[in-house]
Structure formats: structure tokens, C-alpha cells
Structure 1
Amino acid sequence: MKKSTTGLLLGSALVVGLSGCASSASQSSGMGDSSASDRAWYKHPAVCSVAGGLIGAGIGYGATDSDDEDTGAYVGGTIGAATAALLCAEPNKGPAPVGDSDGDGVPDDKDQCPGTPAGVAVDAVGCPLDSDGDGVPDYQDQCPGTPAGAEVNALGCVEDLVLQDVNFEFDSAKLTMGAESVLTDVASKLRANENVRVRIEGHTDSVGAAQYNKDLSQRRADSVASFLAGQGIAANRMTTIGYGEEQPVASNDTKAGRAENRRVELGEWE
């Protein structure tokens, strides 16, 4: 058998083997996220390159005249090595997907407020919503709807907040069920705004003895603080004071005025 024929037959056999190797490598890379280190040694691009070089050299040697055998082997080996390495190389999987570490729906590479607490509504750049633009996010704001441009405290309020519907049983410091519902929401926002401390004030109307009213207002303020503590607000974040009838906000001469004066206020404790 002629030398050229022998070289071609040998090269063809090696080509078939190499093609199978490359095909197996491609299939294995498509079966999951296996890294190149998990592949069989004979599927590695370096091994394929050596095999391809031998194939190309054999073909080049066998397919050329005797005067050009060395050149043919060199050229064939170079082309074969490069081609084989490409065949066995893993396909480009593209860039890794961007994560969303705080789970707010905004990818980390676009999130300007990373670490947003779970369940908090955010805007397009991943920052908590602040509907009234007062600088206190909605999930921490005890006074939503503050007028534009108004200066607010750490609670999001322009002044002390009157806790509407925080009422007590008659002549008692026991909270009504409706009051507990209101205070549960207050506590939720205080938990989210953990760096703020609060002042809880109790007030009464002028019916009854002044000292009795002062004591009652103190017990009511303490009752509110106790409920908030039960909702996870640390005691050292709260202070209470009972003013009794000393600071009316309306006239005590009318039923409506006296109702306004019986109140609990929440303010920032600096």
C-alpha cells in the first residue's frame, strides 16, 4: 500500500475518533452546569489538540509528495491541533444571571437600596416607597400624607401624633380592642424604624380631681407602652408621662372638646 494511502487511512480513523470525543464533550456540557474539571481526560481541549495535531500531521505527511513530507506534516499538524481544540472546547454559556439578594424584584446590579426588608414595596431602583416625599419610607412613617416640604421628625410627623381611636375602658387604663388594633400598626412601624425612640403622653379632660386625672393619664400612657413592649418594642426605646388635664387642645366646656382632650400622643424622644 502506498505511503500516502496509509497516511490518509490512518488520519481518517483518527478523525472519526476525535469527532466522537468532541461530540461527547459537547453533549456533556449541555447536560447541566458541570465544570470543565468534571469532564473525562480525553475530552479536554488540550488532549484533543494533541490528538488533532497527530491527525493533521499524519494526513499532511501521507497526502504530500516525498519532497514535501516534512512541510505537509507541519502544516497538517498545526491545522489539526487548532481545529481539535475548538471542537472540544466548551460552548460559551454567556454571563452568569444577576441575583436579587433582598428579593425585592430589582436585580442587584440596578438596586440602589440593597438589603430592603422582606415585603417592603419598592420603586424602580429598589428603594422603599416614600409616598409623601418626607424622607421617611412608608413602612416606617407614622404620619403618611405629610404636606410637601414640611419638616418631619424621625417618625415622619410634623408634630406629636395623636393616636386616634386609642381609647380605654371607662375610668380605667385598660385598652379597648380597637385601641390594640391601632397600636399593633404603630408597633409594626416602630420595629421597622429601630433607631427611633418615642415619648408616650397621656392626657385627660377636666372632669374630676386634677391629681386623680394626672395619675390616670400616667397609667394610660404606661398601658400603651406595655402593649408596645409586648409587640417587640424595647422598653429603653420608650418613655411615658401623664399630663392629666394640664394641656387641653379644646374647650372642656363641651362634650366634643372633652373628647378631644382625652387622648394619647406619640412623639420622638430625643
Structure 2
Amino acid sequence: MNKSTTGLLLGSALVMGLAGCASSGTQSTSSTSASAGDPWYSSPFVCGLAGGLIGGGIGYGVSSDSDEDTGAAVGATAGATAAALLCSGGEEREMDSDNDGVPDSRDQCPNTPAGVAVDANGCPIDTDGDGVPDYMDQCPGTPAGVEVDSRGCPLDSDGDGVPDYQDQCPDTPAGAQVNALGCEAALVLNDVTFAFDSARLTDNAESILNTVAEKLNANQSVDVRLEGYTDSIGSAQYNQGLSQRRAESVMQYLVSQGVSAGRMSAVGHGENNPVATNETAAGRAQNRRTEVHPLGDNGQVMDRSSSGSM
């Protein structure tokens, strides 16, 4: 190859390479540029240069002695152009204004903050599906369907530290200390009643226990003791047995609603520990009750605590 041919070959490759670089630079003003970690062959400039050299060599090699300069020039031009187009994919990159990896044409959540992981729609990932994306969620792992605040934390309407979806006593006065059930004292199931002289639950009792079961199921970390009581009508021995059967009836119903039997125990106290007088019908009605007590790790009834953990 003579000097003119060599100069033409290298010159053509360089011109085409620079043209590819300029084209890439023009596109970058309206689209996202390649990252610094892109391989060399993704650069139109480098590919154009390499393609020009290769194409020029091929053109030179297949040309006759009389037109080798022309062949080299045509080959260099064709090689550089083809290589630049192939490396760039033959099309401009789509704009991705927030650089989240999802082009603007498909991005349903434009202006995502830098570094935030997004889904296929370009929206920040929300693993627990509570409407608050992970990068803002201070309470990840919220159970499905639980209402949350702007921080992604379950609502606690009475501010007692026990979230509403777990709180058996949701209207505790402000500042009151509560136990693991969210109650100031034992949860008394006053409206959980039974058929006369029976341990069979009434329909109304079952409706109330459904709510109790739902909240016990929402928090698996608390065990409870169900304590049954009667009024003073009848013998103490009979009342003892009746209160035990009623406490066990409540436990069996809660088990039927998904509460693990291993988390509960049932104890009957008969007519002991009345909360009202047995001399009146109203007082006796108060004494016929079932109480739910949260238990600590040692199996003992837990003291009231403001910790709010269940």
C-alpha cells in the first residue's frame, strides 16, 4: 500500500469515527447517554473507527492494482458507517429523564429520586403494598389490608402503642397504660352470653368473638388465658363446673376462627371474684362474664404496660 492509500484509509476511518461520535453527542442532548461502564463496542465512535479500518482493508484487498485507492476508500466508508449503526443499535435511545432505567414513554412515575429501586412501570417498589414506597416506609412488612399513615405505619387511633388492627380496646383514654391487648385491664367479654344453664354460645356472642379472633390472629406474639365466671345462683360446685365449660366453649370457638389452641388456656372460677353485687339482676349479669388475660413468657398474667407490644 502506498502512502496516499494509507492516508486515505486512516483519514476516512477517522472522519467516519468522528462523525459517529458527533452524532452520538447530538443524541445525548435529547436522550440518556451510555453509562461509563458500557463496553467499548457500544460506542459509535470506537466501532466506526474499527469498522473503517476493517472495511478499508477489505476494500483494498479485493481491488485491482489500478483502483486499490478507490476500493480502500469505499470499503473504509462503508465499514465505518455500518459499524457505527450496528453499535448504536441503529436507533436513538429513548429518553429516561429520572435515570431509573425505565424510558419516559413507559414511566408511570416520572421524577423518581436518584437511586430508588423501581418496578417495570418506573414506580418505586412497595413491597408490603400499603401505598407507601419502601424508601419512605418506616414500618415495612405491614400485613395486607391494614390501613397506614403517611409513614407507612399502621394506624393507632388512641395512641396507646397498640395499632388499631391488633387493639382489643381501641378507645383507651389518652395517656392510659395498657397491656398487650391494648386494654387498661383484662378484656371483659360482657356481651359474650350463653344459653340458659348452658355453655352454648348465643349468635351475638359468636359475632363478638369473631372480632376478638381477628385481632388475636393479627398478632401471633401474645398468648391468652380465658377466665370464666358465674353469678351466685346455684351451688358453688355447680357454678365452678359451668364457668369452666363456658371458658372452654369460648376457647373452642376462637380455635374454630383460626386462633391456635396452643396460645390459649381456659380456667373457670365459678362465682368467685364478683365485680358487682349478686343481690340484683343487673349485678348478677355483670358477674356472668368471660375475661381475656394476656400472658407473659412465664405463663403468668401480664401487668399493664405502655410498651404496646402484643
After TM superposition, the score normalised by the length of structure 2 is: 0.63
Q: What secondary structure, in the 3-state scheme, does the structure 2 residue paired with 1:129 have?
A: coil
Amino acid at match of 1:124: S
Task: Tell whether 2:131 aligns with 1:134.
Answer: no
Paired residue for 2:216?
190
Per the TM alignment, residue 226 of structure 1 is displaced from its structure 2 partner at its CA by 0.7
Q: How does 1:95-244 map to 2 (within 5 A)?
A: 95=100, 97=118, 98-244=124-270
Q: Check the 8 A contact 1:102/1:117 in 2, yes or no.
A: yes
Larger helix share, 1 or 2: 1
- Cα RMSD (Å) of the superposition? 3.7
Q: How does 1:243-262 map to 2 (within 5 A)?
A: 243-262=269-288
CA distance in 2, matches of 1:54, 1:166: 86
Paired residue for 1:51?
48
Q: What secondary structure, in the 3-state scheme, does the structure 2 residue paired with 1:244 have?
A: coil
CA distance in 2, matches of 1:224, 1:241: 11
In the alignment, which of 284, 288, 292 is matched to residue 266 of structure 1? 292
CA distance in 2, matches of 1:50, 1:210: 98
C-alpha distance after superposition, 1:51-76 (max 9, x if no partner): 15877xxxxxxxxxxxxxxxxxxxxx
Per the TM alignment, residue 18 of structure 1 is displaced from its structure 2 partner at its CA by 6.4
Q: What secondary structure, in the 3-state scheme, does the structure 2 residue paired with 1:248 have?
A: coil
CA distance in 2, matches of 1:217, 1:156: 25
CA distance in 1, matches of 2:20, 2:146: 56
Per the TM alignment, residue 156 of structure 1 is displaced from its structure 2 partner at its CA by 0.6
Q: Check the 8 A contact 1:238/1:269 in 2, yes or no.
A: no
Amino acid at match of 1:217: S
CA distance in 2, matches of 1:138, 1:164: 21
Runs of at least 5 residues in structure 1 that lack an aligned partner in the other structure: 31-35, 38-43, 56-79
Per the TM alignment, residue 90 of structure 1 is displaced from its structure 2 partner at its CA by 4.0
After TM superposition, the score normalised by the length of structure 1 is: 0.71
CA distance in 2, matches of 1:112, 1:240: 38
Per the TM alignment, residue 251 of structure 1 is displaced from its structure 2 partner at its CA by 1.0
Per the TM alignment, residue 250 of structure 1 is displaced from its structure 2 partner at its CA by 1.0
